Amino acid sequence: MPIDVEVCIIGAGAAGLKAAHTLLTKSDSLTQNDIIVVEAQDRVGGRLYTDRTSSKIGLHYDLGASWFHDCLSNVVFQHFYSGEGEGDKEIFDILSDGYFDDKPVKVFSSDEIAEIDMHKTNMETITNDIESFCELYFIDKLSTDEDITLKQLVELYIQKYSKILTEQEKKYAKVTMRYYELWHGVSWDRLSARYAVLDHNGRDLFNKKGYDFLINWLLQIGISRDRVLLNSPVSKIYRDASKLVGNRRHRKCAVEIRGSSELIYCDYLVVTVPQSILSLDHKVEPNYGIEWVPVLPASMQTALKNIHFGALGKVIFEFDSVWWNKNQDRFFILADENVATDGIETLTSLPKPFSFPALAINSSNIHKSDKGSLIILTQTPLTEYLESNPDQAWSYYGPMLARISSTPYSPPPAPINTITTKWTTNPYIRGSYVACYKGDDPTEIISQLSGEIDGMGLSSSTIRFAGEHTSFEGEGCVHGAWMSGMREAEWILKHSGRGEVTKKLDKWRL
């Protein structure tokens, strides 16, 4: 029998589940039966995924999002920080469940045994200068869409200011800006310089508890589990269901689940699939792409073409003991200059160590544990290679991590366990979050999908979009996804007259 509901939500991640929760709690009349959530995977959570089984030393790891970013303006953080909600402290206690892992990062490189002296190398000053240079470079080009890669920008800076930079400053200037690779999940030789440098709204809180708390909480206070259909990837969306046979209640649109002969009819549809899935051409990827009937407007298709999907991955090494500085938060290990991987789109063999910089999070310090655990962030194209060849991860990172050893002359012990993410090999995810390659435009896609700009996207359609890629605030972040789900639920309540949304959507509000 076909499913017939008021609202269908595609995707059971933070955006989709928050949309469902908002619909249920802000409406006077909507009930569980009026809403259905369809999820392609065999689990809820999307890119929130806490691995509680792989560790051999009793820890757990968020393989997806791990931080509350931009805490000063992060609605989720602010909710739990304010402590006003009933029982919030049991759900997430900022003090005991979070940790600001932002003590100054320690920097290492292939050609120095000890930590690099930030004072002597003036590394921070030069990095700030390159960031200002970047800003000024593009201020002059505001009316154009000219772009260069982050790598090219750094080269320009060094070339222009060669006369006043010391040899040491030049040496480090050449590689320190690659730090941004680990924000975007993209190697600097393809990253857009125009959009690489980020402006933060406050500190980043590491989520020690595991982000599954948020998904579990949403399922507890929002949509019930039996209204979430797992293993239900969408193959087709009918934007206009008026002529479909079987649409007995004259619902506005319909959704086809892959392999199912029955449609889901609904009046409102919230599409929270990742941007990587939205961008798929269903003719090229018939098993994973979504067919739109009729096709999406050309302007939306163009916007989807002018953006990329990053591939921030993680490699987690577990050891018998902590052989690095116990009290340090993060280690940044610089790449060498002029590595052979620059410009290579796909790695066909393991690159030499120090080809890509590594950011290692000291999980042992975060958990104040004697058990050795380092979480390494990875960037495209290394992520794809390591996620497909996890057994080679230590060959790449071992020699780099040797630098952070408290006894730098003896090689570090081999890990007793290696855990790698699988985001790029997961056909329903295909990476991490929205990212700008050279020439991309990050605002166009949000303008098209957020529903906040008149006349853009599907405009007055009852098909709405949510997810981290649709939010001007918190783009790429959990709280961005969260707010976008809330935004679309509130739009639906207002449009349908099913709930009074009197308060303006404000950023501190859950």
Q: Which residues bind a copy of itself (CB under 8 A)?
A: 72-73, 81, 94-95, 100, 102-104, 118-119, 122, 124-125, 129, 132-133, 135-136, 163-164, 200-203
CB of 134 to a copy of itself, least distance (A): 10
CB within 8 Å of 140: residues ≥ 6 apart: none
Q: Which residue has the tokens 């002529």?
A: 243
Element (H, E) at 150: helix 150-160
CB of 453 to a copy of itself, least distance (A): 20
CB of 99 to a copy of itself, least distance (A): 10
Q: Is the peptide bond before 381 cis (omega within 30 degrees of 0)?
A: yes
Tell me whether residue 43 or residue 200 sits nearer to a copy of itself (CB atom): 200
Could you tell me which of 421, 460, 466 has the C-alpha nearest to residue 278? 466
Tell me whether residue 81 or residue 268 sits nearer to a copy of itself (CB atom): 81
CB of 200 to a copy of itself, least distance (A): 6
CB of 133 to a copy of itself, least distance (A): 6
Q: What angle do CA 172, 174, 177 make, to 5 degrees?
A: 90
Tell me whether residue 80 or residue 354 sits nearer to a copy of itself (CB atom): 80
Q: How far is CA 307 from CA 126, 139, 430, 469, in A?
A: 30, 21, 14, 10
CB 179 within 8 A of CB 333: no
Tell me whether residue 104 or residue 411 sits nearer to a copy of itself (CB atom): 104
| Residue 316 β-bridge partners | 375, 419
Q: Please report, as a single letter, which amino acid is at residue 206.
A: F
Tell me whether residue 329 or residue 468 sits nearer to a copy of itself (CB atom): 329
Tell me whether residue 125 or residue 242 sits nearer to a copy of itself (CB atom): 125
CB of 142 to a copy of itself, least distance (A): 14
Q: Please, what is the end-to-end C-alpha distance for the chain in angstroms?
A: 36
CB of 127 to a copy of itself, least distance (A): 12
Tell me whether residue 122 or residue 392 sits nearer to a copy of itself (CB atom): 122
Tell me whether residue 95 or residue 298 sits nearer to a copy of itself (CB atom): 95
DSSP string over 384-436: HHHHH-GGGHHHHHHHHHGGGBSSTTSPPPPPSEEEE--TTT-TTT-SSSEE-
Q: How far apart are CA 55 and CA 67, in angstroms?
A: 20
Q: How far apart are CA 200 and CA 179, in angstroms?
A: 15
CB of 158 to a copy of itself, least distance (A): 14
